A and B are shown apart, each in its own frame.
Chain A
C-alpha cells in the first residue's frame, strides 16, 4: 500500500483552514446577511471539504457535509433566508465537521462513537428541516413553451430549436417555412411541431397575424453560431431558443475542463469560447438580468440555464470558474512550506550572519582594499537575506484575534451579557512561533474579561454605562517589540479586595505597603482569585500565573492597568522575533554585551563629576535619568581592580514603552547583527539577560533584557530617594 499519510495531513490542514474561514464568514454574515460573496465562499468551502473528503473515502464527513452543502446552496439561491438560528446551526455544523475530521481521519471506516453519532443525527435533522420548508424549484419557472420536447431521451444527438413568433412576423415577411428550408441545408430536420393551439376560431382571428409557434429537432454537425445565423434576420420578430444536443453537453464539459486555468474569465465568455452559447445569447441574458427588479435579481447562470443551454453545462462552467479562481488565489498568495524547513533556513541564515561577522574582522585586520568592497557587498546581501528570511515567518496577528469573535459571541450568550469585540491592529505581524504560543494566554485573558470584567447589562445600566460591554483587542509595534492589549470597559479591579485576598492566602504580609500597580500584579500569583464562586469559564485561581509564565517563556512581559468602575487593560509586550535582531555591541569590564538596537534611543558621554559611586541619576538636558553601571550590575566584586582606569564612560539611553533609563558602559562598538542563542539553564535565575550570541571572532556576547534593566534602574533610584 502506498503511503498517503502526507496527503491526508495536507487535506486535514486545508480542511481546517476552510472551516476556520467558514467560521469567520459566518460571523461576518451576522452583520451583513445580504453579502452574496460570503454565501458563495461558504458554499465553496463546504463543497471543497466534501470533495476532498470524498477522495479519501471519509464517508462520514462526506455524508454530513453533503447535507450542509445542500442547505447552503438553498441559502445561496435565496430559497432559505438567513437568520440568527440558521447561522448558529451552520456554526454548529462547522464545529461538528471539525470533530468528525479529528475523529475519523485515522480510521475512516470506523463507526462513529455514540456522542458523535447522535450529534450527527440531530444536526442533519435540523439541516433537513430547512429543505422541507420551502421548495421553490426554479426549473419549474422555465418558460412552458420549451416543455417536454427538450429533456427527453430522443434528443440525445439533436438540437432542439424553438421559435416563438410575434404577431407581426408574417407581415414583416418572415416565413417559418423558409427557416426550415434553410435548415435542411445544415442537417436533417428530425421532427417538427407546429403549435397551432393559439389560432383563434372566433372573430379575433386575423389572417395576416401570426399565431403559430414552431419547435423542431435538428440533426446537425453545425455549431450553435451557425444555426443561430439562420435566424439572423428574424431576431426582432421572433424569440429563438436553441438548445444544443445532449451529446454536445459532454463535449462542452470536456472543453471546459480542458480550459487553461491561468486567468479568471467571466462565465459568459467561457461559454462563448467553447461554443456553448452565442454572443447573442449572452447579450440577451445580460439584458434580461438588468431588466429584473432588484429584489429578484438572478444570476447570469440561472438565466442562461433557463433558456439557452442545459444547466449541466452552466454548472460545470461555474465550477471551473471557481476552481480557477481558487487556484489563482492560492498560487499568487502562498505556497505551503513545512515550518521545519523555514526553521532550518533561519538557522542557516544565523550561521551566515556570524560567518559574515568573522569575515569582516579578517578584512579589517588585513586591510585589503579590494576585498573590502566585496565584503561590503556581501554584508548588505546578508542583511537583506536575513530580513527576508525572518519575514517569511511573520504572520498577521489577525488570525489569532479573529478566533475570539466566536469565543466572545458564544460566551456572552451563555453568560447573558451583551458584549462587542473590537479588533484593531490585526495586520500587525509577528513571528509564527510566537503567534502559536500567544493563543492560550490570550484566550485566558479574553475569558477573564468576559466573565469577570464586563458586568451584567442591568448592573451596567445602573452604573450609567451602555448596556453593551466592549472588549478591545489591539496590537501594535513599538521599539522593536510588539504590544498586545486586551482591554475591557467593565468593572475594573478592586485593589482592596485583591490585597485582602492575598493577605488571607499568605501571599503578602498583612502590613506590607504596596503601590496600586504592585497590588494588581498580585493577580499573577498562583492561587488568587477574587471571584467568590468559580464558574466553568474562569475563576478557579489557576490561570493568571500560568498566563504570566507563558508570556515570560516568550521573553515577554505582562502588565495590568485598571481603574475601578471603568475597566481593565492588560498589555503584553513581546519581542518581535525569537531568532535574529539588530543589536548594539557594547563593552563593560572587558565583557561584551548586546543591547537590542530598536530599544536604543541615544548615547551620551558620562561626565566625570557624576560618575561618583552611589549616584544613580544623571542630568540629561535638564531631565533626571536613572541609570545603571553595567559592570557593577553584573560583576560587582571585580569592579575594584578596574576602578583606576581613567577611561571615559558612555551611557546608552534605552527605552521601553514610556520608561527610559541609561546603561553605563566602557566602550561602544556599534551595530551588530545578532543571532539570538538561548542561554543555558543555569542562567535562568539571572535577570537582565535574554540570551547570548556568537561574535565574529568566536567570542560570546550576552544579550541584555532592556525592559528588566530599565525596571531595575528605576527601582534602584527610588530606594535611594
Chain B
C-alpha cells in the first residue's frame, strides 16, 4: 500500500500537478492512502479531484482511502455533505459539526 502526504493546499492553483502525481500513483499501486493533515485549504477543484480519483479507483477495483483530514478539509466535506461518499473514518476534534 502506498501512502502519500499532501503538503500543499488542494486548490485550483495546484490541482493540475496534484492530478498528475496522484493519477500516476493510482496507476502503479493497488492501494493508495492519502494523508490530508497538512492540507490547510481545499476548494471545489480539490474536492472534484478527490471524487474523480475515488471513482476511478472503484472502477478499477483499487482502493483509495483518505485519512487524517485537516480541520479545513472536514469543514468543506461537511459543507458539501460529501463525507459519506468517500466512506473514510473522519476524526472530529471536539468541534461540533452538523452532519
Contact A208 B44 (CB under 8 A): no
Contact A170 B81 (CB under 8 A): no
| Of B1-9, B12-20, B27-35, B87-95, the one touching chain A | B12-20
CB-CB contacts below 8 Å: A169-201 with B: 170-171, 173, 175-177, 180, 189, 191-194, 196, 199-201
Given contacts A171-B12, A177-B76, A207-B18, 6 further A-B contacts (CB under 8 A): A175-B12, A189-B79, A199-B55, A201-B56, A201-B59, A207-B48
Contact A207 B81 (CB under 8 A): no
Interface 0/1 of A51-74, CB less than 8 Å to B: 000000000000000000000000
CB of B65 within 8 A of chain A? no
Contact A194 B12 (CB under 8 A): no
Can you name 18 A-B residue pairings with CB atoms under 8 Å? Answer: A170-B12, A175-B44, A175-B45, A177-B79, A180-B79, A191-B81, A192-B79, A192-B80, A192-B81, A196-B48, A196-B51, A199-B55, A207-B19, A207-B45, A208-B45, A211-B48, A212-B51, A214-B80
CB of B64 within 8 A of chain A? no
Minimum CB–CB distance for B12 against chain A, Å? 5
CB of A600 within 8 A of chain B? no
Contact A201 B48 (CB under 8 A): no
Contact A207 B15 (CB under 8 A): yes
Q: Interface on chain A toward B: helix, strand, loop, or mixed SS?
A: loop
Nearest neighbor of B43 in chain A, beta-carbon distance:
A175
Query: Chain B residues in contact with chain A, CB under 8 A?
Result: 12, 15-16, 18-19, 43-45, 47-49, 51-52, 55-56, 59, 76, 79-82, 85
Contact A208 B16 (CB under 8 A): yes
CB of A253 within 8 A of chain B? no
CB of A205 within 8 A of chain B? yes
Interface 0/1 of A3-20, CB less than 8 Å to B: 000000000000000000
The 6 closest A-B pairs by CB, nearest first: A207-B19, A194-B80, A207-B15, A201-B55, A196-B51, A201-B56
CB of A210 within 8 A of chain B? yes
Contact A194 B52 (CB under 8 A): no
Contact A205 B43 (CB under 8 A): no
Minimum CB–CB distance for A643 against chain B, Å? 120
Contact A194 B47 (CB under 8 A): yes
Minimum CB–CB distance for A161 against chain B, Å? 14
A207 CA to B79 CA, complexed, in Å: 21
Contact B52 A199 (CB under 8 A): yes
**Residues on A with beta carbons closer than 8 Å to the beta carbon of B44:** 170, 175-177, 210, 212
**Residues on A with beta carbons closer than 8 Å to the beta carbon of B79:** 177, 180, 189, 192
A408 CA to B80 CA, complexed, in Å: 71
Q: Which of A180, A193, A199 makes the CB contact (< 8 A) with B48? A: A199
Interface centre among B49, B56, B80 (most CB of A within 10 A): B80
**Residues on B with beta carbons closer than 8 Å to the beta carbon of A214:** 80
Contact A194 B81 (CB under 8 A): yes
Contact A200 B52 (CB under 8 A): yes
**Residues on B with beta carbons closer than 8 Å to the beta carbon of A200:** 52
**Residues on A with beta carbons closer than 8 Å to the beta carbon of B16:** 207-208
A171 CA to B44 CA, complexed, in Å: 11
Minimum CB–CB distance for A573 against chain B, Å? 87
**Residues on B with beta carbons closer than 8 Å to the beta carbon of A191:** 81
**Residues on A with beta carbons closer than 8 Å to the beta carbon of B19:** 207
Contact B43 A196 (CB under 8 A): no
CB-CB contacts below 8 Å: A207-230 with B: 207-208, 210-212, 214
A554 CA to B59 CA, complexed, in Å: 96
Interface centre among A189, A191, A212 (most CB of B within 10 A): A212
Minimum CB–CB distance for B47 against chain A, Å? 7
Interface centre among B52, B82, B85 (most CB of A within 10 A): B52
A176 CA to B43 CA, complexed, in Å: 8
Contact A208 B15 (CB under 8 A): yes
Nearest neighbor of A190 in chain B, beta-carbon distance:
B98
Nearest neighbor of B49 in chain A, beta-carbon distance:
A207
Contact B85 A196 (CB under 8 A): yes
A207 CA to B59 CA, complexed, in Å: 18
Nearest neighbor of B60 in chain A, beta-carbon distance:
A201
Q: Which of A173, A176, A193, A201 makes the CB contact (< 8 A) with B52? A: A201
**Residues on B with beta carbons closer than 8 Å to the beta carbon of A189:** 79
**Residues on B with beta carbons closer than 8 Å to the beta carbon of A192:** 79-81
A633 CA to B19 CA, complexed, in Å: 120
**Residues on A with beta carbons closer than 8 Å to the beta carbon of B55:** 199, 201
A192 CA to B44 CA, complexed, in Å: 14
**Beyond A196-B51, A208-B12, is A170–B45 a contact (Cβ under 8 Å)?**
yes
A212 CA to B82 CA, complexed, in Å: 12
Nearest neighbor of B16 in chain A, beta-carbon distance:
A207
Contact B12 A193 (CB under 8 A): no
**Residues on A with beta carbons closer than 8 Å to the beta carbon of B15:** 207-208
A673 CA to B80 CA, complexed, in Å: 90
A211 CA to B44 CA, complexed, in Å: 10
